[in-house]
Amino acid sequence: MIAKREKRKKIFYVPGMISLVLIPLFCFYHFYKVDAFKVYGAIDLSLPNKGDFEKYKVETLRKYKVYKFSGNEFEDKKKLNEMRFYLRKLRKEKDTINGIKLQYNSKTNYDTFIRTLDILTIEKAPTWGIFDDDIYVIANSNTPKKTKKDTIEYHRMNCGTGELMRQQAYWEQKNRKEEEARAFQVTFFAQKWQLIFCGYFGLILLNIFTLVKFNKNQNYNQK
């Protein structure tokens, strides 16, 4: 006679199943809380010396067309577009009489300031500088006058915003962002490996302990 095989109960490892579902959620929640996936950026700016700014009388050097940014998103966007075309006109005509003055206040949106810098870079503003809460933009003729040589020593005003410096800052920022994107995963796990390892090791110990205890109880009940 063939003995009837006893049907054994299927073992469902509940702690392991719960871990597979919850642990990734806890990890993502922790990463979100510590801003692990947040990408930081930077702007490379050079500010003119206050003494030089006053010495060369930049505030009265041109007849400035003033654009005031009050914080109204629609109006500020409209003024930025107007400023873009006016800057393009100054640069094309090499206007040495007129200029642009951009005024900001505590209500101005940060995005407006960033978009201003983008416009100055894209439109290749000849010379511009930041002083207090204002930005001054001026064009030049690029045609030096022929003068007799003398012994007078001339000092060129350097606002730190020349074409070369702008281009260099732009490419440095672009390369930095690409490098940060490539190295993000490596640097992240290098900084968080201890926390991840401790959590994972603790999970392993917990699962082993639960599994051993569960199997002992099953063997005891079968006897």
Tens digits of residue pLDDT in 120-161? 989 989 888 888 889 999 988 764 555 555 555 544 544 544
pTM of the model: 0.52
Max CA distance (Å), the chain: 126
Looking at the predicted structure, is the pLDDT value of residue 212 above 80?
no
Q: What is the mean pLDDT of residues 106-121?
A: 90
Strand, coil or helix: 64: strand
Which neighbouring-strand residues pair with 98? 63
CATH top-level class for 50-142+155-160?
alpha beta
Burial pattern 172-182, b for ≥16 Cβ within 10 A else e, equals eeeeeeeeeee
> Angle at the Cα of 28 (from 200 to 207), degrees rounded to 5?
25
Say what the pLDDT of residue 219 is: 57
Query: So where are the chain's domains?
Result: 15-39+179-218, 50-142+155-160
